[in-house]
Structure formats: structure tokens, C-alpha cells
């Protein structure tokens, strides 16, 4: 009894072996001397002439043979891939989170898609903007955003002042120094708004995502545990092509 996960385990090795063997075939048939052979004999004009031994070179590679080798290798790959793809049509499992079936009868190919997408989603969630922890934030019902407590600050204005250094006398004018003074003329009340989220919200989303990722992985393993029927596709294809 062959299981789908066993087929998946050998598929990579089969692909690598086939790639190597087909590459060897390609390089072999490019070597013209291996495909060529000769046979020649020498006959002197008369019986007293010099006798020379015959010469021959055998054909070392025949195209039909190397094509058969390639077909044999590809047959294994075609059979393994067909077995996997046909089994994938039936391989399904439920995605269960905290004991609740979140997704029912999900095909294994879609579970693989989900796994990759959830990895990207984790990157997105982990980089979400969060509220400045140095501030105190409350949710504002009117704007549906977060807001800080009002902060009141003063607005000042520079007002010129005179400082008498020496009073005027009969003989000298008064000595006066002009300076400016910051005088409070009003108050600013500042409230900061933000569309970011609290860090606890990001942590909550990441925790949920972790559970979902684990559930999808478990479902994929379960789906890959089904029994498969070996498919023989290669013989029919290459029997027709090279027959």
C-alpha cells in the first residue's frame, strides 16, 4: 500500500535523477565520433605486394539506445507525477482550530496555497503600525480612532518692557534699557489621534495566525496520508512516441 506522502518523499529524488540522465543523453548524442564506425581492408595489386591488417572502429553509441534510456528515465517521472496529481484530486482534510472545523474538505493543493499565503500574512501583521506606548490611548467613538488625553500648553507673546537704569536729572536724560518679556496670551489644548492599533491587538492576531498555520499544516499532513493507486502513464506515452 502506497501513501501520498511516500510519493511526495521520492518525487524530488526522481526529478533530480531524470534531469541528470536526460542531460547525459543530450551530451552523449552530441559526440559525433561515438556514433560513427568504420571497417576497411587492404588488398595489394598482386600477391607479392605488402599485406596490411584490416582496420575497424565500432559504433559506440546508437541513437535508438540512448533514446530508450531517456524514455525509461522519463517513464518513472511521468508515472510518479501522474500518481501524485491524481491522488491530489482526492486528498482533502478539514482545517480544525481549537476543536472547531473552520474549513471543511479542503483540497491538499489549496492547503499548500494557504500555507504560503499565511507566511506572507504573518509578515504583514508583524509590521502593522502600533500606538506609542508612552501615551495613554482611548478609543474615540466619534472618529473611530484612538485618541490621547488632552494636553494643555501655553501660548506666549514677546512684549517690550523698559527698565530704568538711572532717573533723569537736570543735566542728564534718564538711562533706559529696553527688553522683551514672554507674556501668556492664550492656551493650546492638544489631542492626538491615531489610526494605528495597540500592540496587544497585533499580539492577538499573531497568536490566532499561529493556530491557523498549525491547523493548516496538520490538515495537509492528514490529506497526504491517503492511499494512492500507482498510475502507469509513461509506457503508453513513450510506447506511442518511440514505437
14-47 burial, b if ≥16 CB within 10 A, otherwise e? beeebeebbeebeebbeeeeeeeeeeeeeeeeee
pLDDT, tens digit, 9 for 90 and up, residues 7-25: 889 989 999 999 999 898 8
Average pLDDT, the chain: 91
Regions of the chain where pLDDT drops below 50: none
The C-alpha angle 222, 228, 232, rounded to 5 degrees, equals 150
Return d(Cα 128, Cα 28) in angstroms, integer: 57
- The DSSP annotation for 159-172 comes to EEEEEEEE---SSS
C-alpha distance from residue 35 to each of 26, 64, 69, 231, 242 (Å): 13, 11, 16, 36, 19
Among candidate residues 12, 14, 1, 5, the one with its CA nearest the CA of residue 217? 5
Q: With contact defined as beta carbons under 8 Å apart, do 67 and 194 qualify?
A: no
pLDDT value, residue 123: 96
The residue behind cell 501583521 is: 125
Q: With contact defined as beta carbons under 8 Å apart, do 92 and 223 qualify?
A: yes
The residue behind cell 489644548 is: 189
Q: What are phi and psi of 79, to 5 degrees?
A: -70, -45
Helices (H), 63-194: 63-88, 108-126
pLDDT, tens digit, 9 for 90 and up, residues 194-217: 999 999 999 999 999 999 999 999
Amino acid at each position: 500500500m502506497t501513501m501520498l506522502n511516500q510519493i511526495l518523499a521520492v518525487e524530488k529524488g526522481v526529478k533530480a535523477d531524470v534531469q541528470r540522465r536526460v542531460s547525459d543523453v543530450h551530451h552523449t548524442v552530441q559526440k559525433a565520433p561515438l556514433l560513427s564506425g568504420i571497417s576497411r581492408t587492404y588488398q595489394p595489386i598482386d600477391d607479392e605486394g605488402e599485406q596490411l591488417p584490416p582496420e575497424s572502429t565500432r559504433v559506440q553509441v546508437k541513437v535508438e539506445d540512448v533514446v530508450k534510456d531517456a524514455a525509461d528515465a522519463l517513464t518513472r517521472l511521468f508515472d510518479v507525477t501522474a500518481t501524485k496529481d491524481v491522488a491530489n484530486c482526492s486528498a482533502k482534510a478539514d482545517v480544525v482550530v481549537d476543536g472547531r472545523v473552520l474549513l471543511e474538505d479542503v483540497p491538499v493543493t489549496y492547503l499548500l496555497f494557504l500555507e504560503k499565503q499565511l507566511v506572507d500574512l504573518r509578515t504583514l501583521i508583524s509590521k502593522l503600525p502600533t500606538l506609542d506606548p508612552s501615551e495613554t490611548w482611548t478609543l474615540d467613538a466619534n472618529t473611530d480612532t484612538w485618541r490621547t488625553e488632552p494636553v494643555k500648553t501655553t501660548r506666549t507673546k514677546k512684549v517690550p518692557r523698559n527698565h530704568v537704569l538711572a532717573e533723569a536729572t537736570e543735566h542728564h536724560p534718564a538711562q533706559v534699557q529696553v527688553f522683551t518679556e514672554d507674556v501668556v496670551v492664550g492656551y493650546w489644548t492638544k489631542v492626538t489621534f491615531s489610526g494605528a492599533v495597540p500592540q496587544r491587538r497585533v499580539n492577538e492576531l499573531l497568536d490566532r495566525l499561529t493556530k491557523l498555520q498549525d491547523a493548516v499544516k496538520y490538515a495537509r499532513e492528514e490529506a497526504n496520508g491517503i492511499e494512492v493507486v500507482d498510475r502507469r502513464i509513461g509506457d503508453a506515452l513513450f510506447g506511442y512516441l518511440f514505437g
